[in-house]
Chain A
């Protein structure tokens, strides 16, 4: 995708200063004693037809971000504009109507399908809920969807337990596609699958995107997969986005020390190069999201940290060009350019 036409591209999803804090309550009166700041002020746009990869280690708030954007969790603060509507301020019923345009693919194919429902009713549920078509057209649509995701259309009367993990994930994808959504949040759709199946599912998602004109928010922690499928990449650390930009830009010229450390962990499929690969080993653990460090959230683990990092929260600023944004939240990012 050419970067020069960023301006011309239509914004499908606009997320502004989105926060999700989970209150921690203690004692008899359930007094709030603190909050897990799972997502703490993230802002980004997703353009129509692109895939934004959201990466970060476990517990950094990726999944919470995805769920909060779809209003499956009520945001603590912030705005989410989808096609111009602010989802956060919508009433429940209005929000429900809009759900047909935004769907989700889940991580665990064993937990995301109701074991008591036949594949046909699982896939047709969105059609029933949104009153799309009649019984006959729904049956036809379900079979079409199963064919689309590479499953035998005759499977409609089967139960989820009769399928393998990869097949179940395809059923989940078929369900997500049922209402012809324009936007799909894929919440680590491949991390529970076998490596050989991962490639199949990722290719399926990629093909479907081209065929149906979908837009993805692709949440993952597998960096090579994200590079393969994304147009742009956002890196999350402890509830914040620390770096975001065009895929190759981020992978080839990472500006944030955390991104550099993450990328250095990707094995290179060439034994000679691999032997000389230098890993940046991060010290310590991810700080608790209940009590994040002052200043830059990455400062306790960052080898470049200086006083300013411990005191001031870095601004999320653009170091790329206007047409080719490369956002980064680091005081010293220029040094790494």
Chain B
């Protein structure tokens, strides 16, 4: 039964003297992630794939990737062309490098877009509830019941060629890249929105939210400072898996010839046309196909690992 201990002559302490916590939630998550062997291996592979796509710029210039040389068409892997050449004599390795950049760029930005939309829709619906929730969720369901591939194709057809080329990082991206990003982002936010909504519905009933309201915290701050950080685990997991899906989605549309237009290479549009040479020139599809497979597979494993590491409810330790 201690009485109040008065603040007797507190020693003056600066921010650096304050005792560091034994482990922050982030550090604990990292520990759990490290134990997930498949995820660790996959994380390394993902990093290597990024390195391959971006460090590869040092070996080949973009001009080389797009240079046609019809005399050298459909050559198998050799010393000069490690992955062989395609139907118009372009170096496949150079194209997988630059194609990888575009594919990864598309996937990451599309997922960013998807996550932002998903969080905004889900958070608004879950936090405010009532009519707002009903309207937003019915809309989400309406978008959800349309098959994604169908949406992708229709939107690709509709928006195709309407967006002008843009210049970022000293490179030119054909307008079709932006179109694809928008299309993928706008057709895949629904699952995330539902996840976020469910998280918000349960988290907003916590007493610490009531405590924040009692303090006078504005709604916006409650949403972004109190609830969102607590629902970050499923969001990160879903976004990671979303990257894999976005790469696949890009591959679909580009394979159908509706995606990024040549000469800009992507892993997806490199597959387009190669089906005529499935047996005669397998290097045309093996290398981009393998890269897609490897990326999607490892990102999925990383997502699994993140789920185990971040989501305390699925903690098996």
Pick the residue among A112, A157, A203 that contacts B20 (CB under 8 A): A157
Per-residue CB contact flags for chain B residues 1-15 toward chain A (1 = under 8 Å, else 0) read 111111110100101
Whether B7 pairs with A211 at a CB distance below 8 angstroms is no
Q: B71 an interface residue at 8 Å Cβ cutoff?
A: no
Interface of B is mostly: loop
Q: A154 an interface residue at 8 Å Cβ cutoff?
A: yes
Cα of A246 to Cα of B22 in the assembled complex, Å? 49
* Interchain Cβ contacts within 8 Å, total number: 108
Known: A111-B208, A207-B4. A175 touches B215 (CB 8 A): yes
Known: A159-B21, A204-B4. A106 touches B211 (CB 8 A): yes
Whether A139 pairs with B230 at a CB distance below 8 angstroms is no
Whether B18 pairs with A154 at a CB distance below 8 angstroms is yes
Residues of A contacting B230 in the complex (Cβ-Cβ under 8 angstroms): 114-116
Within 8 A of B (CB), among A283-332: none
**Chain A nearest Cβ from B87, distance in angstroms:** 54
Known: A72-B210, A100-B216, A126-B215. A208 touches B4 (CB 8 A): yes
Whether A172 pairs with B211 at a CB distance below 8 angstroms is yes
Within 8 A of A (CB), among B196-214: 206-208, 210-214
Residues of A contacting B229 in the complex (Cβ-Cβ under 8 angstroms): 114, 116-117
A-B contact pairs, 28 of them (CB 8 A): A67-B210, A70-B214, A103-B215, A106-B210, A107-B207, A111-B207, A111-B208, A112-B208, A112-B211, A114-B229, A115-B25, A116-B25, A117-B229, A125-B212, A129-B216, A129-B218, A130-B216, A143-B7, A147-B10, A150-B4, A153-B7, A154-B13, A154-B19, A155-B19, A157-B20, A158-B19, A204-B3, A211-B4
Other than the given A104-B211, A159-B21, A159-B25, 11 more pairs (CB < 8 A) read A104-B210, A106-B210, A111-B208, A112-B211, A129-B218, A147-B8, A148-B7, A155-B19, A157-B19, A162-B22, A203-B2
- Interface of A toward B, CB cutoff 8 Å: 67, 70, 72, 96-97, 99-100, 103-104, 106-108, 111-118, 125-126, 129-130, 139, 143-144, 147-150, 153-159, 162, 172, 175, 179, 199-200, 203-204, 207-208, 211
